[in-house]
Amino acid sequence: MRWYAAQRAALAIIQLAVLSVLVFVLTALLPGDAADMRFTETLTPDQVARMREQLGLDQPALERFTHWFGNVLTGDLGTSLISGGPVLDIVKASVGATLVLTLATLAVVVPLAVALGIVMGTRENGRLDRTITSVTLALSAIPDFVIAVFLVALFSLKLGWLPATWVGGSLLASPALLILPVAVLLGRTVCLLSRQVRAGTINALNAEYVVQARRLGVPRRRLLLRHVLPNAAVPGVQELARTGDTLLGGVLVVEAIFAIPGFATALVDGVETRDVPVVQGLTLVLAVAALVINLGADLVCNRLVPRTELLR
Amino acid sequence: GSDGGSGGGAAAQPKAGGRLRAVYAGGGAKEVLDPHVQSLFVDIARHKAIYEKLVELGPDLKPMPRLAEKWEPDAQAATWRFTLRDATFHDGQKLTSEDVLYSLARIADPTVPERVAQSSLAALDLKRCKAIDQKTVELVLTAPNAEFPALLAGIGTQIVRDGFKDPTKPIGTGAFKYVSFEAGRSMVANRFDDYWDGAAKLEELQILSADAEARANALQGGQAEYANDMTATFARTAEAGKTVKIVAAKGSTTHAFVMKVDQAPFDNPDVRMAFKLLADRRRLVDVVLAGRGVVGNDLFGKGFQYYPADLSQRERNLDEAKALLKKAGLLNKEVEIFTADASAGFVESATLFAEQVNEAGVKLKVTTGSAQTYAKDLLTKGVIGNHRSGAMPIPQYITDRLLTKSPFNVTHWRQPAFDAAFASAQVMTDEAARTAKYGELQKTLRDQGGIIAWGHPDYLVAVSAKVQGVQAAPPNTLDQGRFDKVWLA
Amino acid sequence: MRALRARTPLAVSALLVLIPLLVALLGPLANFSPKPGLPYESAGLLGTDGLGRDVFSLLLEGGRTALGMALGAVVIAYLVGGMIGLVAASTRHRWVDEALIRPLDVLLPLPSLLVISVVAVGWRASPPAITLAVAMVNVPTVARLVRAAALDAASGPVVEALRMQRESWVGIHLGYVGRAVLGPVAADIGTRITLAVFLVASVNFLGLGLSPTAPDWAVSVSRNREGLLLQPWAVIAPALLLVSFTLGFNLLADRLVHRTRRLVEAKR
Amino acid sequence: MTPLVKVTGLAAVAGDAILVDRVDFEVWPGQVTALVGASGSGKTTSALALLGEYGRGVQLRGRVEVDGQVVVDDNGPVNGVKVRGRVVAYMPQHPGSALNPARRIGAGLNELAKLHHPGEDVVPEALRIAQLPDDKATLRRFPHQFSGGQRQRIALAQALTCRPRVLVLDEPSTGLDSITRLQLVGELRDLAEQGLGILLLSHDLDLVRALARHVVVLSAGCVVDAGGVEVLPAAPELVASLGTTTAADPLLEATDLSAALHARGRDPILQKVDLAVPPGGCIGIVGRSGSGKTTLARCLAGLHERHTGRITLAGQDLPVLRKRTLEQNRRVQYVWQEVRGSFDERRLVDEQVARTAVRLRGISATEAKAEAVATLARLGVSALVAARPPSQLSGGELQRAALARALLARPDVLVCDEITTALDERGTGLVVELLNELKAEGTALVWISHDLGLVAAVSDHVLVLDAGRVVEEGPPATVMNDPSTELTRRLVRAAKVGQDPEPPQPPPVLTSSADTRSDPQR
Ligand SMILES: Nc1ncnc2c1ncn2[C@@H]1O[C@H](COP(=O)(O)OP(=O)(O)OP(=O)(O)O)[C@@H](O)[C@H]1O
Ligand SMILES: Nc1ncnc2c1ncn2[C@@H]1O[C@H](COP(=O)(O)OP(=O)(O)OP(=O)(O)O)[C@@H](O)[C@H]1O
Ligand SMILES: [Mg+2]
Ligand SMILES: [Mg+2]
């Protein structure tokens, strides 16, 4: 176990280092730099040139990178080229909304998907199974921006029931702000997850050990909760960790449509304004999160079904 | 909804109190609190609530007194005396000459290149500027300029307190006192009771940032009462309902195609004229601006001070254009138009214009560049591209874009004779003579220059039905976004 | 068998996929371009869009990018990732396997969002660049999937038995390993194409991809959504075509997954 | 005394197929009743009827009474749920896979204890009978942390925790080496002595002979005979051959053969094994589970590449499989132990068998097919059966198909890895007959088996492997009758289950390392 943890940690560190280089190279490949972004027909080229100098953007890329990397090792994510504030502040400011959004989504998705998956799995090919399958399949086939556009048109603009944007509202004052964004993010994730849970349930139900437990007189309810569920959850958990990335893509669309000042928006903004330290910082945080989530998923799976191999 | 100002109703009795949430196009991390570093509308709106300038622009972009009660130039228009108004800062201090001098020096600080008014106020000879007394300040120019007051109304020229260092603790003379700010999201400010121009009606002002769709949704969903810079489509949708009013300032900005006059094929005046004759301005306005705009006449600033209104409207003339193109040998050749999604309507108008040009037998190919770097790229890249300019006095527009040394000379219009004529006009203290001279220069531009100004979109502000007192005014003018005059019914 | 018949009929799923596909393929050939009108009018079959263009003619033009980029991305992802996966699985040298798969592991936490937005911002409005970016984002997962599926098959006793019978390399890898990989891959392609369509469409929707005047379906949905209440067809029609394609593909993929599952069950 | 289980006129029908027809049997407390019969004769179907359980699409008729409760009557199963666990506990064929990998074994045992005997502390007793340590550490372990043999015991402990009146054991001895099998016999005998009724399903007649009081012989779903052990066919008299000490040069020879799991000899499985087989000779390889028999066979077949030492065929070096010439490939063939896994699910069995002749002997596909069908027919697998995909063949049929597949190469050396485990006596007889014929024609055999009697009958030289080393070798008669090592002695003695008139000695205490067999194939 300790060897495993060490291996995992070493791999993570290598991944993060390589990732930083990659992100730097990627952003360096973009045309223009942060100083150019300030060129909005109010600052003259001469002023822009002086700014570039002040921001240190006239230095060679390698030097900028090593400088940044050195700082990161001491825990300093640097300062934004655009706002001049610490990157950490930008990360902190943007992470909240996205976190709330994803947690709220997960809080709905996970129980819903598990429940649906188990219902479907225990009634394999029954009418209920087929109905739920069809509905979730259809839901997952609608791109999130299409869902969002129509939900907003219907529930906010036509009926006026729900707020269509986070602008001018506060989450504390009106939690209803969460409803539409979560509804948009829900569809695909629930479908993906519930299908995994369904497959896991069917597999577990057919497994020798469940059949045997039933033969030894374990009642049905207990069988489902204690014997089927943990095994059925494993593919679901793995899927959840895997969908993190796709979920983030959806989050961007949702953030854009509902004007949520979140992580994905900050990332794309950073790229658009060539704010390299911000992009670096956000990516780093994101990568750490992805690594932690994957590790967590592996550990959870290993907890649920100890035989799951840790290192593939 | 109704066009024009919404405050005209005689029955409307101003009411005090309440909170107004105004949404502007956001700039994310680019948004700043330093009044001298602004460049976005949302920054300008925010700073306008807190700070003031010596001079402001009227609806026709003519300078009008603000913190300066009045001004007087000397005979050469090289030394200007400004008399200050009896205004109070949010910290209770009175406005003095020292504040003005400090503000101008702060703007000019060469170690902070992002202070935007640096280039426009470069003509100021700071060492020789001085305070005559508490309320009078004398500003000396390195070269005479009859338009100097207008420069003090440009963006980034706000007056701050003497010794102002920390932009996160704003103190101005404006109608609202700063409370809080989060870049890319919102600013909150409260009424300043000692405002010299009569305290605002609103108790609290929130200025929020959001893109066009979110602005529309916020306004319709009742999460905002005021939405700046709305699209014509939104106006069309909103007009069907009753909850939202549209306040439209006619023809406030300028949409144009710009040709580089020193690059083939536009180094040939015939080709420039042919392209001008090819533009179907009416259709461009109808489609790209959804009819919400005024047809342009290849000149900036229709309706502004110094605009030559007597020039005839240029119309589409396919035959003449064809003849000119044939003469230039451009028929069946391909020309690229360089555009980007940098501003609403750019790609759309380029695409539409391409179709119109294609009808004359010249293939205009649309190339899309990066939106973020477009302003810079346009200076060097492409031979013809999109251009949009906000409202500003016409002489300033010429200074910025049409002189040999202009920093944003996108048409590469570099004519020593034109430069000289403009310089001579600028020192004329007689306004009528100046106007005549500017008129001549603009006629030259219209016929020979590289600008195809096809339309002047209306500037659309949408407000919820209960908002009163919103004036229809072009952006960058005094009455645009004046929340001290607005009240909630 | 009964369960299979009870599912959505094959014809329906196929039709759902085929309609958008045919529109995308044949639409541009139709060369149907009526005279443009004014923005958001109801003239013509489906009215006009925000630029006064006929929505129906736009639909005919817009499928090529909407589906082409996604399909292209999946094809490229499978060519590159599948090759890496197969080679990694079939190599007898552990270091080749490691050298091929470990770098992909490192790439896994790289947010696809970042890659795509960088590419989209850097090479704006270039369909090949975006296609390539979407493809690259998919390579690591495809490679791992193919490797895992092939490894399972290639290391099993069946391959040993075939070697004992001296079957040729081609016979073993295409005849057996390839067929064994086909099941998971076919199921995966179904969902992957849907995902790719989503990704491409989202990029275009967010204005990071194609030019805003492009007739692309996702761009149409994005650009015309502010006119949704004035002229709904400009949004609904392209959205319907997109959804029809992804829904059809989902149904087909589901069917495939079912078939492979039943095969596996039969094995037990 | 009344019987615990009374089955009368039990019938099971699936569609038009009759799986079980008018079966009667009884199970008495303290006694073992055995259901015997060939594979597919309906043993499992009949036994599951005691729980009211039936396969998908199967209908049960007749009458099953368990401990006074009617479980099946003429309307089909009724309230089988009541007897599950508490009255009848069933132990399936591969108990290893019947343990939930996600649960600690303690949790599983306590759950059953709480369900059936709340408030009573039945777990320690169950563990004791199953010969498992009753400490916290053991209970906190997960199933994968036990060896195959221990897992079998855990499954037994689970069944015992229910304190059933009747214990049903389905093929408990498949794949066990003789020592482990002997331990099982002892345990079951103890259980019966404590008053439990045991229903034993098996085709291992020796095991039945050793345990059963009542025997019911099934054939194609019908009871063909019933009574005491005397109804069983007599144990075939297999005479150990004396060993042919032919002077002929060895055809296949391995010297100093070592093999490891990992590169550079880490984790060795085989160490310094020497063997030689002359043409027409047969070398038998025996040893406990996990001793390295399969690995040795795979080295000879060229499939296990991580080995050192020298293997020669007719004096010439024999490289690993992928470097062998066509001729070398043809001359040495291997028959898999895990036979199901070695067939491609998607092609028909006869086609797969025929491919050998096409690829290795270059004959046409039609000729090869004809030859495949003929060979399979000789082994008792009809052409009709062989023309199906592998999933539709029974384990025994597939085992014979695998043999045919190797035989179609007309090999000079045939390596057989436990190829009769799924066969009944008739099937085994057919296989042995054919192989003896080939031997007479000069084919050399390497014969791996747990069935010492069979080894003795087939081979003329025996190797005994233990932990990868040869611990004893010699002619079978010598090795079997006069073993020189303790291991061989135990193997031989344990193999005599059900053949000796004397009851065997109490089983030796199992140490956790004694059974290193990996998880049985699921
Ligand atoms: N659900 C089912 N539907 C149809 N036929 C079945 C079903 N279950 C079992 N059979 C058939 O019933 C027969 C008896 O099966 P059963 O499992 O009872 O045999 P068995 O004697 O236990 O054999 P083995 O020794 O291989 O375990 C077999 O021919 C089998 O193919
Ligand atoms: N792939 C593997 N991974 C780990 N251990 C292995 C592997 N293959 C074989 N072993 C180990 O090598 C040893 C020898 O295995 P082998 O299969 O040769 O045994 P065997 O004598 O054939 O046993 P059986 O009678 O059960 O077939 C065993 O301890 C087994 O656990
Ligand atoms: Mg059975
Ligand atoms: Mg073995």
Strand partners, D131: none
Write down the pLDDT at residue B205.
93
Write down the pLDDT at residue C265.
47
What radius of gyration do chain D's Cα atoms show? Answer: 24
Joined together, the tokens standing for residue D415 give 């390596």
Strand partners, D317: D312
Ligand 2 atom closest to the Cα of residue D518 is 31
Q: What is the pLDDT of residues B47-106, one digit of tens each?
A: 999 999 999 998 888 899 999 999 999 888 899 999 999 999 999 999 999 999 999 999
Using a 6 Å cutoff on CB, does residue D292 contact ligand 2?
A: yes
- Asked if D1 and D169 count as a contact pair (C-beta separation under 8 A), the reply is no
Is the pLDDT reported for residue B7 higher than 60? no
Contacts 24+ apart (CB under 8 A), B330-335: B330/B265, B330/B271, B330/B274, B330/B362, B331/B360, B331/B361, B331/B362, B332/B361, B332/B362, B332/B363, B333/B265, B333/B362, B333/B363, B334/B362, B334/B363, B334/B364, B334/B365, B335/B265, B335/B362, B335/B363, B335/B364, B335/B365, B335/B383, B335/B384
Q: For tokens 């986070």, what's the residue?
A: A166
Write down the pLDDT at residue B3.
46
Cα(D407)–Cα(D391) distance, integer angstroms: 22
> Which range has the worst mean pLDDT, A177-186, A286-295, B399-408, D313-322?
A286-295
Is the pLDDT reported for residue C4 higher than 60? no
From the list B253, B281, B262, B196, the residue with the least C-alpha distance to B391 is B253
Nearest Cα of chain C lies from the Cα of B368 at a distance, in angstroms, of 7
pLDDT confidence band for D385 (50 / 70 / 90):
confident
Is the pLDDT reported for residue D93 higher than 80? no
Nearest Cα of chain C lies from the Cα of A193 at a distance, in angstroms, of 13
Joined together, the tokens standing for residue D285 give 């390889």
Question: What is the average pLDDT across B299-308?
Answer: 89
Is the pLDDT reported for residue D334 higher than 90? yes
Q: Which of D13, D18, D19 to mutate to test the pocket of ligand 1 (most atoms within 8 A of CB)?
A: D19
Write down the pLDDT at residue D84.
83
pLDDT confidence band for D429 (50 / 70 / 90):
confident
Ligand with smallest separation from the Cα of D395: 1
Q: How many angstroms is it from A126 CA to the middle of ligand 1?
A: 26
Is the pLDDT reported for residue B8 higher than 70? no
From the list A167, B393, A171, C165, the residue with the least C-alpha distance to D368 is C165
Q: Assign residue A32 a region (left: φ > 0; alpha: ψ between -120 and 50; beta: otherwise).
A: left
Residues of chain B with Cβ-Cβ distance to C125 below 8 Å are 368
Joined together, the tokens standing for residue A202 give 């069917």
State the pTM of this model: 0.75
* Inter-CA distances, D374 with D353, D378, D380, Å: 11, 6, 10
Write down the pLDDT at residue D515.
41
Write down the pLDDT at residue C181.
77
A273/B28 touch (CB, cutoff 8 Å), yes or no: yes
Joined together, the tokens standing for residue D26 give 């009884």
Using a 6 Å cutoff on CB, does residue D41 contact ligand 1?
A: yes
From the list B184, C238, C245, B208, the residue with the least C-alpha distance to A145 is C238
Per-residue HEC secondary structure of D396-439 comes to: HHHHHHHHHHHHCCCCCEEEEECCCCCCCHHHHHHHHHHHHHHH
Write down the pLDDT at residue B250.
87
Is the pLDDT reported for residue D237 higher than 70? no
- Asked if A132 and A197 count as a contact pair (C-beta separation under 8 A), the reply is no
Q: For tokens 């331990």, what's the residue?
A: D183
Most confidently predicted of B229-238, D196-205, D286-295, D400-409: D400-409
Helix (H, G, I), strand (E, B) or coil at B340: strand
* Inter-CA distances, A250 with A101, A263, C221, Å: 11, 12, 16
Tell me which chain A residue has its CA closest to the CA of residue C192: A246
CA angle (D266, D271, D272) in 5-degree steps: 135
Strand partners, B29: none
Cα(D96)–Cα(A209) distance, integer angstroms: 9
Q: What is the pLDDT of residues B319-369, one digit of tens each?
A: 999 999 999 888 888 999 999 888 888 988 999 999 899 988 899 998 888
Write down the pLDDT at residue A248.
67
Q: Which CATH superfamily is domain D252-494 in?
A: P-loop containing nucleotide triphosphate hydrolases (3.40.50.300)
Q: For tokens 């991580």, what's the residue?
A: D306
Write down the pLDDT at residue A310.
33
Joined together, the tokens standing for residue D355 give 């491919």
Is the pLDDT reported for residue D488 higher than 80? yes
Cα(C65)–Cα(C214) distance, integer angstroms: 9
Question: What is the average pLDDT across B370-398?
Answer: 87
* CB-based contact, A274 to chain B, within 8 Å: yes
Domain ranges for chain D? 5-231, 252-494
Is the pLDDT reported for residue D456 higher than 90? no
pLDDT confidence band for A312 (50 / 70 / 90):
very low
pLDDT confidence band for D297 (50 / 70 / 90):
very high
Is the pLDDT reported for residue C97 higher than 70? yes
The end-to-end CA distance of chain D, in Å, is 40
Residues of chain A with Cβ-Cβ distance to B370 below 8 Å are 31-32
Q: What is the pLDDT of residues A130-182, one digit of tens each?
A: 888 888 888 888 887 788 888 888 887 778 788 777 777 677 777 778 888 88
Domain ranges for chain C? 25-66+211-268, 67-183
Is the pLDDT reported for residue D103 higher than 50? yes
Cα(D224)–Cα(D227) distance, integer angstroms: 11
Joined together, the tokens standing for residue D85 give 């666990």
C165/D356 touch (CB, cutoff 8 Å), yes or no: yes
Query: For domain D5-231, is the CATH number 3.40.630.30?
Result: no
Share of chain A above pLDDT 90, in %: 0
Chain C with chain D: Cβ pairs closer than 8 A: 46
Write down the pLDDT at residue D64.
86
Q: What is the pLDDT of residues A238-295, one digit of tens each?
A: 777 766 666 666 777 788 888 888 888 888 888 888 888 888 888 888 888 877 877 7
A44/B185 touch (CB, cutoff 8 Å), yes or no: no
Joined together, the tokens standing for residue B121 give 């106020």
Is the pLDDT reported for residue D521 higher than 50? no
Cα(D508)–Cα(D149) distance, integer angstroms: 14
Is the pLDDT reported for residue D203 higher than 90? no
Side-chain half-sphere CA neighbours of B286 within 13 A: 13
A26/C6 touch (CB, cutoff 8 Å), yes or no: no
Q: Where are the alpha helices (DSSP H) in A141-275?
A: 144-151, 179-206, 208-215, 220-222, 229-258, 263-272
Joined together, the tokens standing for residue C218 give 């996702």
Q: What is the pLDDT of residues C129-162, one digit of tens each?
A: 888 888 888 888 888 888 877 776 777 778 888 9
Mean pLDDT of chain C: 79
Of B23, B182, B372, the CB nearest to A168: B23
Q: Give, for B245, the enclosing helix (H) or strand (E).
A: strand B244-249
The DSSP symbol for B381 reads S
Mean pLDDT of chain D: 82
Is the pLDDT reported for residue C8 higher than 70? no
Cα(C245)–Cα(C252) distance, integer angstroms: 11
D405/C163 touch (CB, cutoff 8 Å), yes or no: no
Report the 10 Å Cβ neighbour count for C5: 8
Write down the pLDDT at residue A104.
87
Ligand 1 atom closest to the Cα of residue D37 is 21
Using a 6 Å cutoff on CB, does residue D521 contact ligand 2?
A: no
More confident residue, D368 or D129: D368
More confident residue, D17 or D65: D65
D115: buried, middle or exposed (CB in 10 Å: 19+, 13-18, 0-12)?
A: middle
Most confidently predicted of A104-113, A220-229, A276-285, B437-446: B437-446
Question: What is the average pLDDT across C240-260?
Answer: 79
Using a 6 Å cutoff on CB, does residue D295 contact ligand 2?
A: yes
Which residue minimizes the CA distance to atom 30 of ligand 1? D40
Write down the pLDDT at residue C257.
67
Write down the pLDDT at residue C268.
37
Is the pLDDT reported for residue D513 higher than 70? no
Nearest Cα of chain A lies from the Cα of B405 at a distance, in angstroms, of 11
Write down the pLDDT at residue A309.
38
- Asked if C83 and C93 count as a contact pair (C-beta separation under 8 A), the reply is no
Is the pLDDT reported for residue B11 higher than 60? no
> Which range has the worst mean pLDDT, B124-138, C188-202, D446-460, D469-483?
C188-202
* CB-based contact, A133 to chain C, within 8 Å: yes
Side-chain half-sphere CA neighbours of D38 within 13 A: 15
Ligand 1 atom closest to the Cα of residue D203 is 25
Strand partners, B259: B384
- Asked if C225 and C235 count as a contact pair (C-beta separation under 8 A), the reply is yes
Using a 6 Å cutoff on CB, does residue D518 contact ligand 2?
A: yes
Write down the pLDDT at residue A159.
81
Of D84, D97, D102, the CB nearest to A216: D84
Q: Give ipTM to 2 decimals.
A: 0.72
Cα(A44)–Cα(B408) distance, integer angstroms: 8
Q: What is the pLDDT of residues D108-167, one digit of tens each?
A: 888 888 888 888 888 888 888 777 888 888 888 887 777 666 777 788 888 888 888 889
Sort strands D197-202 and D32-37 into parallel, antiparallel or unpaired: parallel
Mean pLDDT of chain B: 88
Q: Residue B265, preceding bond cis, omega within 30 degrees?
A: yes
